[in-house]
């Protein structure tokens, strides 16, 4: 079995520093995060906001590489900030910080455009690992979230059940993938396989071994899956950003 913490050692030190922007009202966590990031050689804190309004204002500035957003802001929901960031900082990797990583919060954030989440009680090392993984195109996932994502794609497929794929498509070698190809944002067979393993309790390292992939590739699979979930709500996000006055018409 490959070592789970393989990424700790494989972090390249020569890449440019990861710029981290933070929108967080809890001073303790904010400070802890700032301290940890500042102390890390390959990262730096780009900007810090404590309210939704500040967060939205921050998005008018230069984009960061990673944006950490808390959902429960004193003047509104962090979801607004995530949606605005999707429109204004398209290249930015958005991450939601959460106490429990529960399905309700995380799924909403992913649909709004977040690429990952950070458990607030994670160890500093784990936090840095998550930020690095996110910045390099990976995404974390939990079994409950994996099950929800699968359910979401099943719904999409059922919604398009009126137009079943032509028969020759189902006899394709990639059976399951071909069957889902009728959906607007279908999961590939490999992506579905990853999610299935996650719901059975296998961790990223184990799945990489089982599917003969690299540890990092598994996490990019998850990112792709998240972005497929996001697609349906992207136009909506742009519309909302416009109504918030964050985007020119």
Partner 1 sequence: MKPEPLVCCPIESPASHDIRMKNRSANLLSVLLLLASVALLIAVGAWYLQNDNAAEKTSLHLTQADWQERDSAAFVAPPASVASTSLSSYWQHSTLPGSLTPTPPLQDKTSASVRTTWVKLSMAGKTLPAGPLVLYGIRIKTDGTVAVYANGHLVHRLQAQGQLWSSLFTPLWVVLDQQDTAEPLQEIMIRVEHAANTPVALSSLWIGTPEALRGRYYLRQWLQRELPATLNAAFLVVGIFALCVWLRRRQETRYLLFFNLAAISFVGHLHYYVSLPILSGWFAWLTANALFWLLMVIHLFLCQLHGRRLFWLTRAIIGITLVSSILSSPIIDVLPVFPSTSLWVPLMYAIAVLMGLLVCIVGGISARHRSRDGVLLAAGVGVATLMGMSDWLLHNNIISPEGWFLGAYTNAITFFMFGTLMYRRYLHAIAEVEQVNASLAQRLLAREVELELSHQQLRAAAQRQTISDERQRLMQDMHDGLGSSLISAIRSVELGGVSESKVSQILKDCLDDLKLTIDSMEPVEADLLLLLATLRFRLEPRLEGSAIQLRWEVQELPTLPWLEPSSALHILRIVQESIANILRHTRADQIRVHTSHVSDGVTVTIDDNGQGFDVEQVMRNPAGRGLHNQQRRAQAIDGRVDWQSTSSGTRFTLWLPLQR
Tokens of residue 109, six digits = 């954030």
Q: Residue 147: exposed, middle, or buried by beta-carbon count in 10 A (0-12, 13-18, 19+)?
A: middle
- In terms of CB distance, is 98 or 136 closer to partner 1? 98
| Given 51, 77, 199, 220, the residue binding partner 1 (CB under 8 A) | 199
Tokens 């396989």 belong to 193
Q: Report how far apart the first and last C-alpha atoms of the chain are (Å, whole number).
A: 53
Q: Nearer Cβ to partner 1, position 154 or 242?
A: 154
Q: Determine the interface stretch with partner 1 among 14-22, 50-58, 99-107, 155-163 (rule: CB under 8 A).
A: 99-107
Residues contacting partner 1: total by CB under 8 A: 21
With CB under 8 A as the contact rule, the residue among 5, 10, 31, 243 that binds partner 1 is 5
Q: Segment near partner 1 (CB under 8 A), from 59-67, 202-210, 211-219, 238-246?
A: 202-210
In the structure encoding, which two tokens stand for residue 207, read together? 């799945």
Return the H-helix or E-strand segment holding 203.
none
The residue among 123 and 243 lying less far from partner 1, judged by its C-beta, is: 123
Instruction: Give the nearer residue to partner 1 in terms of CB position, either 75 or 103.
Output: 103
Site residues for partner 1, window 104-163 (CB under 8 A)? 121-123, 126, 142-144, 147
The span from the CA of 161 to the CA of 142, in Å, is 29
Close Cβ partners of 130 (under 8 Å, ≥ 6 residues apart):
95, 116, 118, 122, 140
- The answer to whether the beta carbons of residues 147 and 201 sit under 8 Å apart is no
Q: What minimum distance in Å lies between the beta carbon of 222 and partner 1? A: 14
Binding site for partner 1 (CB under 8 A): 1, 4-5, 100, 102-103, 121-123, 126, 142-144, 147, 198-203, 206
């Amino acid at each position: 079995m490959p070592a789970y913490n393989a990424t700790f050692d494989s972090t390249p030190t020569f890449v440019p520093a990861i710029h981290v922007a933070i929108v967080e009202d809890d001073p303790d966590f904010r400070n802890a995060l700032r301290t940890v990031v500042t102390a890390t050689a390959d990262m730096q804190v780009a900007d810090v906001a404590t309210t939704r309004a500040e967060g939205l204002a921050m998005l008018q500035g230069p984009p960061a590489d990673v944006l950490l957003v808390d959902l429960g802001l004193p003047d509104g929901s962090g979801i607004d900030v995530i949606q605005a960031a999707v429109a204004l900082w398209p290249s930015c990797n958005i991450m939601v910080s959460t106490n429990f990583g529960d399905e309700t919060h995380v799924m909403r954030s992913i649909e709004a455009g977040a690429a990952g989440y950070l458990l607030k009680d994670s160890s500093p090392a784990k936090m840095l690992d998550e930020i690095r993984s996110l910045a390099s195109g990976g995404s974390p996932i939990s079994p409950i979230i994996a099950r929800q994502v699968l359910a979401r794609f099943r719904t999409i497929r059922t919604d398009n059940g009126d137009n079943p794929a032509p028969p020759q498509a189902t006899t394709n070698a990639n059976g399951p993938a071909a069957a889902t190809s009728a959906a607007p944002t279908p999961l590939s067979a490999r992506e579905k396989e990853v999610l299935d393993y996650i719901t059975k309790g296998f961790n990223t390292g184990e799945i990489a071994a089982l599917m003969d992939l690299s540890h990092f590739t598994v996490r990019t699979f998850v990112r792709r899956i998240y972005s497929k979930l996001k697609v349906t709500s992207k136009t909506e996000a742009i519309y909302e950003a416009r109504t918030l006055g964050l985007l020119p018409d």
